[in-house]
Structure 1
Amino acid sequence: MLDRQAGENGLQRARQQVVFDVSRRYMQVLLDQELLRIAQENLGSQKELLLQIEGFVDAGLRTLSDLYNQQAEVARVESIVLDAELALANDRWLLGEYLQLEKGKVPHLEPVDFSSKAGISPELNLGYWTDQALTARKDLLQAELLENSYKKDFQAVKAMLYPRINGFYNYGTFYTSLDSRAIKSQLLDIYPQNTFGLSLSIPIFNGFLTRVDMARSKMTYQNQILRREALDRKVHQEVVLAYQTYLNAVKKSENSKVRLLAAQEAQKAVAERFRLGLSNFVDLATANQTLVNAEADLAQATYTLYFQEVWVKFALGTLEV
């Protein structure tokens, strides 16, 4: 019975693991799509800037070095787009492989609605999360049930070393056609037999098989204790990591928004100064790169924060399947 309950808990945890793995791969593909979009938009902006610089050079407002630098920048951004496309294709194939899709088929995912995410209250303390995990984690419940099961097995094997006394009682009757008396009389009055007694079994020598079985059972029980204790530590570490990562994700999301706004304003100012001939190409390239990095960091922070609820529920053992 305990083994069956342990198996059911193990199966439930395995299902949670599948949901967690699919969610993680799903969010990675969505992030790759967003990073590819940012890279493609940046490439379009750099190509437009290249056309502007060509016009400035023809008008004598910019030098050929600015033109060559921008051509190199366009080539660099094109390489980034190619890398982003490759990363998206690779992660999409990995998700399809995990989902065991048919050969040649890749998943096309629906975007997520970030506004529908309820979020997790950061005021919840770490102790509350840890207590919840200790009672909800199916793998921990499985380990505890197996420990109790192995303990009972060890006690049962150990009991074989001691004398055993058994009481028994048997009742039997029968009917025969050779007897002319009534069937009811034969069954109830003539042939009923009652047997009862006691049996005493004293183990003397069985080739030390009982002691070998007891040693093996004891080792299995003690090993399970060690596995359960190790799992206790692992659960605590996973909860602490999920808690800290969630708080960091919230802060990174807020910081990324501030950074993006600042980068947008800085890029606009530098681009205008460059158009007026008051800034050089290096300043403009730096401002553009800072803006692209800020957009990518915000995308990373946004998707990471969105996925954190799944991670936290998985660590706590409350992830729905």
Structure 2
Amino acid sequence: MKKHFFIPVILVALGFSGQAQEEKPLRLTYNEAIKIAMKSNVTLNQQKNFLLSSEVQRNQSIAAFLPSLGIQGSVNHTDGQQPSPETGDLEDLSVDNVSASLQAGVTIFNGFNRINTLNANINQFKAQAAFVKRSEQDVVFNVTNQYLQVLLDQELLKIAQESFKAQSVLLDQLKEQVRLGARAESDQYTQDAQVRNLELIALRAKVTLENDKALLAQTLQLDPAVPFDVELPRIDNSFNINGVSVDSLYAIAVANREDLKRADYQAKANLYAYKASINTYLPSLNASASYGSQYVSTLKPDPAYGTFSNQFRNVFPRLSYGVSLTIPIFDRLQTRNNRVFNKMTYENSKIVRDNVEKTIKIDVKRTYNNYLTAIESYEASQIQYQAGELALKTQQESFILGISAQVALAQANQTFVQAAASRAQAEITLVFQKMLLDYALGTLNPQSIIEQ
């Protein structure tokens, strides 16, 4: 489908109600609406930020297996009674001290906490990535529903306007017949009331359209002061829903739905977090090493230990290393509290996962039935529209010739308007059914819509 961009347009008249001229609405295609939503949707952008932080947390868990390395330095000046660096006697001195050291440490064993934490963070990252993908599909789904509603509102407004204009023409003809004495004056009043009612219906349809446009503009983060119209997209509806079974659709949905994948990854992440909390009952073993030196001066011309370079290189260099073992005995029930909390979190995530799977089957079944109903409704609406159109034309001709009554004409017009509205709703609904099915199955690709 060709892409169109917003361009300035000239002012046009609304026409049917004699209102002042307004700026012609801009054309917003379905592909543009999806593209704008993918860039500006607040929830989606927030989840992408959470994905970045989750990735950083995963990388930190990987780096936890590496040794830590740091440089420590200090500069001190002390005045007062203190041991002399030269004699060791207590004297009133001013001493400068400069020291620096290189320190390294590594965890040898901490009860498998690092491994379980790494696995938890890896699955947490995968869960967030799946959530982002499903959020993208949610954006398309929400925009599609709102776009579909605006399309339907536009068609209903058009139908109401056309019906109002047609009945207004008939009213003018009736007024002429009344003037010539061919019709009773009561018929004119009845027709005038019918025209005023159609005008009111058109005005209400216009208000509904503007409200639904405002909702779509809010979703797309558009400027509410800029008017726009939407247009029916060209979507391939060659898919034969009757040729597939519900069970096969279930299998596709279970394999592709990102919210189910997210629930699976989240349950695994919570399981590893629970194992990590249990591991704090076990002892931990750490190794460390440090190498450094220092310089000491009593602010005398000839320091006792020589120059700065001599002290750092030859006098005070030191190397220390060792291991430390920590055995937990009693931590005021903190480990137990974490263990119970993480276990309940894991159990709840399993419940959520099972509920998501059941919800997916319900979604697929409902969407499948809606697809079949949309096809049947479309076929029925075509027949209904043709019958209503023929009945209205017949009643209009009969009324003009004085054969039928005003009540029969009003009823025929109402039937035709309802048939036209049903046909418009059925056509627009059917256009989007394949896309809604893809959403239920988890196979919806937002990027493919944008690139069309």
Using the size of structure 2 for normalisation, the TM-score is 0.62
User: What residue number does 1:284 align with?
Assistant: 409
User: What residue number does 2:254 align with?
Assistant: 134
2:192, 2:223 → 1: CA distance? 43
Contact 1:95 1:107 in 2 (8 A): no
User: What residue number does 1:68 align with?
Assistant: 189
Higher gyration radius (CA)? 2
2:153, 2:347 → 1: CA distance? 47
Tell me, yes or no, if structure 1 residue 108 matches structure 2 residue 233: no
User: What residue number does 1:238 align with?
Assistant: 363
Match of 1:217 among 331, 335, 342: 342
Contact 2:214 2:224 in 1 (8 A): no
Cα gap change, 1:214/1:169 in structure 2, threshold over 3 Å: closer, same or farther? Answer: closer
Contact 2:217 2:224 in 1 (8 A): no
2:427, 2:380 → 1: CA distance? 11
Q: 1:315, CA displacement in angstroms?
A: 1.1
For residue 216 of structure 1, what is the amino acid of its counterpart?
A: F
Q: Deviations over 1:78-111 (max 9, x none)?
A: 0011111111111112111111113512333233
Q: 1:169, CA displacement in angstroms?
A: 9.2
Tell me, yes or no, if structure 1 residue 124 matches structure 2 residue 244: yes
Greater relative CO (CA pairs within 8 A, separation 6+): 1
For residue 36 of structure 1, what is the amino acid of its counterpart?
A: L
Compare the two structures and name the one with the higher helix fraction. 1
Using the size of structure 1 for normalisation, the TM-score is 0.85
1:155, 1:40 → 2: CA distance? 67
Contact 1:120 1:309 in 2 (8 A): no
Q: Deviations over 1:260-285 (max 9, x none)?
A: 11112222222222222221111111
Q: 1:25, CA displacement in angstroms?
A: 1.3
Contact 1:2 1:146 in 2 (8 A): yes
Match of 1:155 among 275, 282, 286: 275
Q: 1:244, CA displacement in angstroms?
A: 0.9
Cα gap change, 1:170/1:104 in structure 2, threshold over 3 Å: closer, same or farther? Answer: closer
User: What residue number does 2:266 align with?
Assistant: 146
User: What residue number does 1:312 align with?
Assistant: 437
Q: Any idea what SS the aligned residue of 1:160 has?
A: helix
Q: 5+ unaligned residues in a row in structure 1: which ranges?
A: 174-192
Q: 1:170, CA displacement in angstroms?
A: 9.7
1:256, 1:281 → 2: CA distance? 26
Q: 1:164, CA displacement in angstroms?
A: 4.8
Tell me, yes or no, if structure 1 residue 85 matches structure 2 residue 210: no
Q: Any idea what SS the aligned residue of 2:262 has?
A: helix
User: What residue number does 1:96 align with?
Assistant: 217
For residue 279 of structure 1, what is the amino acid of its counterpart?
A: S
Q: Any idea what SS the aligned residue of 2:238 has?
A: coil
Q: Any idea what SS the aligned residue of 1:205 has?
A: coil
1:235, 1:289 → 2: CA distance? 41
User: What residue number does 1:186 align with?
Assistant: none
Cα gap change, 1:142/1:165 in structure 2, threshold over 3 Å: closer, same or farther? Answer: same
Contact 2:241 2:371 in 1 (8 A): no
Tell me, yes or no, if structure 1 residue 264 matches structure 2 residue 355: no
Cα gap change, 1:274/1:204 in structure 2, threshold over 3 Å: closer, same or farther? Answer: same
2:224, 2:141 → 1: CA distance? 24
1:111, 1:313 → 2: CA distance? 19
Give the aligned CA root-mean-square deviation in angstroms: 2.5
Q: Any idea what SS the aligned residue of 1:108 has?
A: strand
2:152, 2:273 → 1: CA distance? 51
For residue 118 of structure 1, what is the amino acid of its counterpart?
A: S
1:222, 1:295 → 2: CA distance? 53
For residue 125 of structure 1, what is the amino acid of its counterpart?
A: S
Q: 1:147, CA displacement in angstroms?
A: 0.2
Q: Any idea what SS the aligned residue of 1:69 has?
A: helix
How many residues in Structure 1 have an aligned counterpart in Structure 2? 298
Q: 1:242, CA displacement in angstroms?
A: 0.7
For residue 157 of structure 1, what is the amino acid of its counterpart?
A: S
User: What residue number does 2:158 align with?
Assistant: 37
Cα gap change, 1:117/1:123 in structure 2, threshold over 3 Å: closer, same or farther? Answer: closer
Q: Deviations over 1:206-225 (max 9, x none)?
A: 22221111101101111111
Cα gap change, 1:27/1:278 in structure 2, threshold over 3 Å: closer, same or farther? Answer: same
Q: 5+ unaligned residues in a row in structure 2: which ranges?
A: 1-121, 292-318, 447-452
